[in-house]
């Protein structure tokens, strides 16, 4: 999300001193001793020069006392919007509107100049916490560094999703009222149990959950503000990741136990916990679930395009079919997704929201997610050079006979209209 020496980060402390990254130092090797401090009286503390963009950091803090951290960078997708003088529409995914807030636009001024600082501060004065900087990049503020970073990461994700979506089709955006209605609806939580006990088996699964999750954050399969992982541990009871905890920061104690339809006391599981519960209840062969947003899969999610996984044998064997379902279908008490999932239908795309992937073991579920994202990426990258020539029905049947002879198969993967009618519940077909 930045180059070796590009971009800058700052925080302001309770004394009014501003701590900022140095100029011309590799961002990947920064140490605490590299961070420069500009005292309230203007004196410098540190062994480097402060960032050349310090003037607009200072101007933002003076204009907005509620902002305590600022991030400026030149991530590729947001720069793409910057150089065509456009603002990304954050209604492309469900949670971004509330994380990012309205997005401002600052006209071009010379980098490092006081005029640029004045221009940016003027936009922040209007109440924005995120700006597109014309022919430059982006700048974002927050009430702490984590808040600023999550806004930055989410805005760049929106921009990437829109751009990838435009490669394969036309992105569709959610109406404000749809987002508001959905956010208010999914706020309901499972009831709280009186006490909790963890068996050794649960603790082992909790460790496995975290070990599998961390590398996936680094490979871009999740962003810090969105992503849920759960594993079944006994009967229909399961362990699930919490809400409102940054995904890279999860500790063992954060994982939430769900037992007999009740949540562990004092913890807030993912807001989709009820959906995980219903999937486990209806599908005894499913023992782990991942709900996430990955950029290339979401390109299909926001354009409502068919993700045809008949690209290479691995993709079809792992996934067979990924139905695209309407936004809001994962609301409380809807059974469409639990009814649709099976070994032959291990994943679904929820439009403008997420990808939901299931499996027996957690490793298999992550593997399916990776294969799905790689397949989506290949399709996006192939679009400029030609149309997909899919594996044909005969080749699909050969794969089925060779590898899946005794396993359920998605009938819709055979690409016949009668199979679509067999697979899809009537109310889903109508939607």
pLDDT for 303 beyond 50: yes
Residue 358 pLDDT grade (very low, low, confident, very high; cuts 50, 70, 90): very high
Residue pair 290/227 in contact (Cβ under 8 Å)? The answer is: yes
348/381 Cα distance (integer angstroms): 22
pLDDT digits (tens, 9 = 90+) for 141-157: 999 999 999 999 999 99
Give the per-residue pLDDT at 186. 58
Mean pLDDT of 180-187: 73
Residue 216 pLDDT grade (very low, low, confident, very high; cuts 50, 70, 90): low
Residue 387 pLDDT grade (very low, low, confident, very high; cuts 50, 70, 90): very high
Q: Which segments of 320-383 does DSSP mark as H helices, in order?
A: 336-340, 362-382
User: 273: closest CA among 306, 232, 304, 327?
Assistant: 232
Mean pLDDT of 319-334: 86
User: 94: closest CA among 268, 296, 330?
Assistant: 330
Give the per-residue pLDDT at 271. 86
* 8-state DSSP, 190: P
Give the per-residue pLDDT at 417. 36
**Sole residue written with tokens 């077909």:** 429
- Ramachandran region of residue 415, left (φ > 0), alpha (ψ -120 to 50) or beta? left
- Burial class from Cβ neighbours inside 10 Å (0-12, 13-18, 19+) for residue 34 reads middle
User: 242: closest CA among 203, 180, 181, 190?
Assistant: 190
Mean pLDDT of 246-272: 89
352/304 Cα distance (integer angstroms): 8
Residue pair 2/149 in contact (Cβ under 8 Å)? The answer is: no
**Sole residue written with tokens 């751009």:** 163
Structure tokens at 136: 């430059």
pLDDT for 428 beyond 70: no
CA dihedral 123, 124, 125, 129 (to 10 degrees): 130
pLDDT for 74 beyond 80: yes
415/211 Cα distance (integer angstroms): 38
User: 269: closest CA among 212, 199, 186?
Assistant: 186
Give the per-residue pLDDT at 407. 67
Average pLDDT, the chain: 89
């Amino acid at each position: 999300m930045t180059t070796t020496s590009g971009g800058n980060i700052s925080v302001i402390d309770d004394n009014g001193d501003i701590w900022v990254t140095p100029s011309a130092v590799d961002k990947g090797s920064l140490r605490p001793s590299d961070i420069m401090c500009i005292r309230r009286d203007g004196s410098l503390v540190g062994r480097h020069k402060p960032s050349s963009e310090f003037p607009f950091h200072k101007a933002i803090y003076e204009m907005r006392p509620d902002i305590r951290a600022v991030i400026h960078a030149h991530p590729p997708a947001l720069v793409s919007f910057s150089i065509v003088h456009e603002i990304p529409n954050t209604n492309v995914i469900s949670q971004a509107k509330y994380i990012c807030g309205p997005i401002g636009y600052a006209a071009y001024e010379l980098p490092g100049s006081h005029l640029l600082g004045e221009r940016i501060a003027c936009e922040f004065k209007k109440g924005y916490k995120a700006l597109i900087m014309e022919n430059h990049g982006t700048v974002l503020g927050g009430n702490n560094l984590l808040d600023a970073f999550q806004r930055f990461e989410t805005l760049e994700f929106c921009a990437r999703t829109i751009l990838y979506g435009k490669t394969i089709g036309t992105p569709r955006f959610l109406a404000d009222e749809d987002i508001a209605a959905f956010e208010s609806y999914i706020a309901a939580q499972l009831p709280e149990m009186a006490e909790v006990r963890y068996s050794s088996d649960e603790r082992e699964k909790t460790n496995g959950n975290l070990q599998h999750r961390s590398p996936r954050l680094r490979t871009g399969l999740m962003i810090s503000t969105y992503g849920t992982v759960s594993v079944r541990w006994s009967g229909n009871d399961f362990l699930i990741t919490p809400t409102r905890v940054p995904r890279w920061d999860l500790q063992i104690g954060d994982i939430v136990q769900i037992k007999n339809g009740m949540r562990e006391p004092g913890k807030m599981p993912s807001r989709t916990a009820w959906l995980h519960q219903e999937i486990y209840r209806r599908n005894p062969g499913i023992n782990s679930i991942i709900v996430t947003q990955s950029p290339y899969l979401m390109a299909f999610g926001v354009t409502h395009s068919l993700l045809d996984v008949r690209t290479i044998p691995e993709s079809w064997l792992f996934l067979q079919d990924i139905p695209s379902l309407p936004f809001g279908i994962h609301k409380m008490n809807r059974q469409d997704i639990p009814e649709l999932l099976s070994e032959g239908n291990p994943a679904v795309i929820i439009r403008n929201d997420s990808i939901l992937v299931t499996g027996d073991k957690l490793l298999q579920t992550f593997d399916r997610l990776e294969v799905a994202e790689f397949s989506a990426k290949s399709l996006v990258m192939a679009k400029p050079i030609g149309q997909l020539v899919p594996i044909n029905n005969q080749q699909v049947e050969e794969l089925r006979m060779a590898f899946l002879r005794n396993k359920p198969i998605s009938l819709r993967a055979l690409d016949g209209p009668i199979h679509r009618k067999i697979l899809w519940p009537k109310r889903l077909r109508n939607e």
